[in-house]
Every structure is written in C-alpha cells, then in structure tokens.
C-alpha cells in the first residue's frame, strides 16, 4: 500500500477515524487532493462536492470527539455514478439532455444509506450516456481512461466508477449494472465489483435504463470494502417496487469463513468459447487456485444473451421515446440509433423473450441445486484501445460496443448475484472473472472473492499515476 493516505482501503480509514488515529477531515482532504492531482488524466469525475464533503467530515469528527459511536464506514470517501441523485446537482445519467433538469431535491437512497454508515460523498462520476454503453466513452463529458493504461478503455457504463477506484481516487464507488456495467469496468480497471441479486438493493433516486434488468452495486479495491458497502445499502424500500421485502442478510460477518463448504464449478460450453485465450486463462488460474475441477454448462446461454438484447432495446426505447421525438440531435448518435431500433422491435419478439426468460430462470435454478458458485469470464478480452470500434474474437471480427458483454448479459438477464474479481495472468492489463452465486447468496460469492484475496491470488492495487 502506498504512503498516500488517499490510497488506504476504506475499512482501514474507518478504523483509524473511529480510533482517532486520523480524522474524517484528513481522509477527505487527502482524497480531494488526489482527485485534483490525478483526475485530469483519468476523467472519472463529472462533479466534485468538496464543500459538502468537508462539512460532512467535520460533523463526523465532532461526533467522535463527543464520544458518539460511528458507523462501519466512518470517514470513508466515496463517489457515485452520475445517474444516482445527488442533492443540488442535476442527475446527468451521462447525457446532454438531463443536465438541463432541475437539481435533485434529495440524495438517492443508496447514497443516503452509505452516508448513514459514515461514508462521505466526494462527487459524481462519468458514465456512458443513459447507461447504454460498455466502453466508458462519453461524447459529452469525454472518455474515462483506463488508469492502468491511459490509451485503453475503462469499460462501461460505470466507467467513471471503475476509473475512480482503479486510479485510487476513492476506495469505494457506486455503479449500476443492467447487462454488465459494473462487471466490465471492474475487469478492465482491475477492481472488485458486486452486482447483487435483482431487487436486493434499492434503485430509488436513480435514473433508470431498463427497469426489469437494472441493478445498483458497489466497486472497491478490497473485498472487505465491497461487503461493507453492500451491507450498508441493504434493506427494503417502498420507493422501489422491485426491492425485496427480505430482511438484510449481512455478508461481512461471514466474510472470512472460508470456502470448504462451497461447491464450486467452472462454466463450460458458451462461457469457454468466443473469447481471447487470456480471458479463459484467467478463469483457469482462479479455478486452479481454488482446486476446482468440476465443469457445468449453463443451458441456452447464447439465447439468453439474445433475449437480453431484445428486452434491453425495447424497454430502453420506451423510456426515451419523448426525448427521441423532441431532442434527437442531443443524443450520442450511437445511443440514439440503438434506441430508435429498439422502438421498432415487434411486440411478439419481446413477449417471446420474456417467456424464454421464465424458462431460463427455472433451468438455471435447477443447476444451482448441485453447485453453490460458478466461475466464468467477465469479458472476452482485455480492455480495447480507446476509440477502437472492432475486435477479433475466435477469428471473427465483431463490433466492440455490442460484444464486450457477451459473458455478462446471460447472468444479469435473470438477476443472479456476481462478484467480479480482478486477475492478472501476466504483466499486461487486468482481466476479470465472474464469481456467480444463486439468488440471494451474495455472501457465498463474496466469501470466494475474500478467500482469493486473503490467499494473495487476486488483488486490486491502485494504478501508479
């Protein structure tokens, strides 16, 4: 770990703040200084709320001085994808159109829950327009650059979240994942990410993309920070009808319980073809470290990806029809064209995709009767170069934007929980492996990730910037 206090893990900051070995003000000041020094290169932030952050830090320090107990994230700087409401800022959702909206009247629910646990918001983060993106390249705010090689993509659509964590600007960031938008930038930027079970975390106070597929979740440089943030955000919320009524099931208490009781397998078939050898080598490296030899096949994964595409395009288009009619020229042309195409999908196709989703969910549930965790690649390759439009996978030339999520879409299609772990199989850019669990079993996936981290098999150091 660097001597720079901005590069401490969140749980270490919180412990030092609670024990008065440092202060929340010092932690926030260090983060703001690093953002000022580094973000001009990475372009992760669209808004920095320094005055708010320092005021919040001061109130935490005063409470500690009075002897008042503080939460598990006391004094920890964090940032949010700019589709989550921040009081006083217009919720951009990566768009030109939204920045003309009135400022948000209050913070989004996940932001409020993070601050209730003691975390301190320092800003809002760049993202792909309306979350319809896998590259991290925004035509309005500029591309977020990969902190491990500035000539490469950060991934999207939570590219600012991945870039901010990977660059050591904040120890924790919140992102969203519809088809892979937490897992892709986690892989490209070399950090941990959690896409929880669909409905586990509230989405109230965030700008939607596809209501039946949208998830919010954390990204971090340590599994402990990931679990602490996840636990802080759990709980029912009547403001989001999709949020579960289940009581919170904290993952942090069992994080170091090990993996001896978990049945782990590697996804074969669809998840073992159509990518670069390095992507599969990353999975093999993790499987080898875990001594996993069993392989399973997720049925009809290719069809699940196709159905996810149809539903995404159709639901996304329905959300934006009025904007397409009145302000078409203010969209990113690539996003606009995909939304227009989505508006023209015949309704019977979407109905068929939804019927297939019900079958697919049941089929995968049967698979989880025999396994607890499944390993699969996060992406088919390392981060492409900035501006790259095509790549070659398995000898086939394909569009980058449409195919980065080839391995993530069949998983989020039925809302399974996934922890993305960063892997380096040589000295090149990081790759990612999905640790997939059954619904509501985030704790199992986090335990696997923590075991890998504790054994020194995976880590997420901040880029040397």
- Catalytic center residues: 81, 157, 181
Closest to 178 in 3D by CA, of 286, 92, 81, 110: 81
Please report the beta strands in 329-464, taking only residues with DSSP state E, as ranges in sequence order. 373-377, 390-393, 396-399, 418-423, 431-437
Closest CA to 405 of 164, 157, 174, 172: 157
The tokens for 339 are 């939304």
φ, ψ dihedrals at 402, nearest 5°: -85, -15
Q: Which of 142, 151, 217, 210 is nearest to 183 (CA)?
A: 217
CB half-sphere exposure, 143, CA atoms < 13 A? 19
H or E stretch at 356: helix 347-367
| Secondary structure of residue 206 in the 3-state scheme | strand
Strand order in the sheet with 45-48: 45-48, 120-125, 77-81, 172-177, 215-220, 192-195, 418-423, 431-437, 373-377, 264-267, 295-296
CA 98 to chain CA mean position, Å: 22
**Under 8 Å CB-to-CB from 349, ≥6 apart: which residues?**
310
Which letter does DSSP use for residue 341 in this model?
H
Nearest CA to 376 among 292, 451, 453, 266?
A: 266
The alpha carbon torsion through 182, 183, 185, 187 (nearest 10 deg) reads 160
Rounded to whole angstroms, the maximal C-alpha distance in the chain is 65
Chain centroid to Cα 385, Å, comes to 21
The three-point CA angle 463-451-182 to 5° equals 50
d(CA 247, CA 234): 8
CA distance 356 to 308: 10
């Amino acid at each position: 770990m660097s001597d720079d206090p901005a590069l401490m893990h969140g749980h270490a900051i919180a412990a030092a703040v609670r024990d008065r070995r440092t202060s929340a003000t010092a932690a926030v000041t260090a983060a703001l200084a690093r953002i000022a020094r580094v973000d001009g290169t990475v372009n992760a932030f669209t808004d920095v709320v320094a005055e708010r952050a320092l005021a919040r830090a001061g109130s935490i320090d005063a409470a500690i001085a009075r002897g008042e107990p503080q939460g598990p994230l006391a004094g920890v700087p964090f940032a949010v994808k700019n589709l989550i409401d921040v009081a006083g800022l217009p919720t951009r959702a990566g768009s030109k159109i939204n920045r003309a909206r009135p400022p948000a009247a209050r913070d989004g629910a996940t932001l409020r829950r993070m601050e209730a646990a003691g975390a301190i918001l320092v800003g809002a983060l760049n993202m792909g327009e309306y979350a319809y993106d896998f590259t991290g390249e925004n035509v309005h705010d500029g591309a977020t650059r990969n902190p491990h090689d500035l000539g490469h993509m950060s991934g999207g659509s939570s590219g600012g979240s991945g870039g901010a964590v990977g660059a050591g600007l904040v120890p924790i960031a919140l992102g969203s994942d519809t088809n892979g938008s937490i897992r892709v930038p986690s892989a490209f930027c070399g950090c941990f990410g959690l896409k929880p079970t669909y409905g586990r975390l509230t989405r109230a106070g965030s700008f939607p993309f596809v209501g039946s597929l949208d998830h919010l979740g954390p990204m971090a440089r340590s599994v402990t920070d990931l679990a602490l943030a996840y636990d802080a955000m759990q709980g029912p919320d009547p403001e989001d009808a999709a949020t579960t009524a289940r009581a919170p099931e904290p993952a942090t208490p069992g994080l170091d319980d090990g993996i001896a009781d978990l049945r782990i397998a590697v996804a074969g078939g669809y998840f073992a073809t159509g990518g670069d050898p390095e992507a599969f080598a990353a999975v093999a490296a993790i499987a080898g470290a875990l001594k996993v030899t069993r392989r399973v096949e997720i049925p009809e994964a290719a069809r699940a990806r196709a159905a996810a595409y149809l539903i995404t395009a159709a639901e996304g288009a329905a959300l934006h029809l009025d904007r397409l009619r009145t302000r078409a020229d203010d969209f990113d042309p690539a996003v606009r064209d995909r939304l227009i195409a989505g508006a023209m999908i015949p309704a019977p196709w979407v109905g068929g995709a939804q019927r297939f989703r019900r079958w697919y969910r049941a089929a995968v549930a049967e698979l989880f009767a025999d396994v607890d965790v499944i390993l699969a690649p996060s992406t088919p390759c390392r981060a492409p170069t900035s501006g790259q439009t095509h790549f070659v996978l398995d000898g086939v030339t394909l569009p980058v934007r449409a195919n980065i999520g080839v391995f993530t879409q069949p998983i989020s299609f039925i809302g399974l929980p996934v922890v993305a772990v960063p892997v380096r199989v040589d000295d090149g850019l990081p790759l990612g492996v999905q640790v997939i669990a059954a619904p509501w079993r985030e704790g199992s996936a986090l335990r696997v990730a923590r075991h890998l981290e504790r054994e020194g098999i995976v880590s997420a150091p901040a880029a040397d910037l």
